[in-house]
Amino acid sequence: MPLPSPANRVQQHTRRVVCEGYKREDGLWDIEGHLLDTKNMPIELKDRDDGILPAGEPVHSMAIRLTIDLDLNILDVAASMDATPFKGCPSIADSYKRLIGVQIKPGFTKLTREMFGGVNGCTHLLELLGPVATTAYQATHHEREVQEGWTDGDQKPPMLDMCHTMDSKGGVVQQYWPHFYQNDESGSPLQVIASSTTNESTQKEAVSEH
C-alpha cells in the first residue's frame, strides 16, 4: 500500500543507501554498503576550492565492505570516502580496519558506536554499519539455513518471533514450522525441542538496534 498523497512540497535532499551481499569463489562473503547524499540546490561548502557545491553533485559518497565467513566473523574491511564536505574526512577511512576480528552478533551496534563514535570515526560510515550488518544476515540466510537445518531440524529458525507475521502463535509458523508453533497464552510449544537460541538472539539484536 503506497503512502498517502503528500502536501505540496519541494524536494531538498536525497539520501540513497544501497547494501549488497556477494558470495565469493573462496567461500567467503563480501557485504558492501554505499551511501550517497545529494542536494537539489547549490550549497556553500567552505572547504571546497570554489566554495559552492552544485545541485546534484554528492555531498557524501562513501562505501564500506566487510569480508566475512559464514559465522559472520569479519576477516577484512575496506572503506572509501570519494565525496566529503571537508578534505580531511577521508583520513579516518582506514580506522574501520579495526573491525577485523569482530563478529556480527549481539552487541555489534553498541560495540561499533564505542569504537567509532564521536571523533573516532565518520558519522556516515558508522551509520552504514547498521544496514550492512543486517544485509550480512540476509545474504547468508539461505546458506546458514541449509547448514544448520532450520527447515526440518530441531534448531529454531532465527526469524521466528522477529515480526508480527513470524509470531510463534501465528498462522504462518503453525503452517510452515508446526513443531515450533505455540498454541496457548503461556507460550508452551506443541512440541518441546531442545535447541540453541544463539542465532535467533543474534539476528533479533542486529535488526532491533537499527
Q: Classify residue 23 by burial, with Cβ atoms within 10 Å: 0-12, 13-18, 19+.
A: middle
Give the phi and the psi of residue 2 in degrees, each rounded to 5. -75, 165
46-61 confidence digits (pLDDT tens): 998 899 999 999 999 9
Per-residue model confidence (pLDDT) at position 148: 72
> Which helix (DSSP H) or strand (DSSP E) does residue 207 occupy?
helix 198-208
Percent of the chain with pLDDT over 90: 63
Give the phi and the psi of residue 33 in degrees, each rounded to 5. -125, 135
Helix (H, G, I), strand (E, B) or coil at 96: helix
Per-residue model confidence (pLDDT) at position 208: 46
What does DSSP say about strands 74-83 and 58-68: parallel, antiparallel, or unpaired? Answer: antiparallel
| CB proximity list for 17: less than 8 A, separation 6 or greater | 33, 34, 35, 36, 128, 131
Cα dist. 45→25, 41, 80, 144 in Å? 43, 13, 20, 46
Contact in structure between 198 and 204 (CB atoms under 8 Å): no
Residue 95, number of CB atoms within 10 A of its CB: 16
Is this model's pTM higher than 0.75 or not?
Answer: yes
142-181 confidence digits (pLDDT tens): 898 777 766 666 777 777 887 899 898 888 888 888 888 8
117-152 confidence digits (pLDDT tens): 999 999 999 999 999 999 999 999 889 877 776 666
Per-residue model confidence (pLDDT) at position 201: 46
| pLDDT band for position 18 (cuts 50, 70, 90) | very high
Contact in structure between 108 and 205 (CB atoms under 8 Å): yes
Per-residue model confidence (pLDDT) at position 53: 96
Domain boundaries in the chain? 13-148
DSSP-assigned beta bridge partners for residue 52:
44
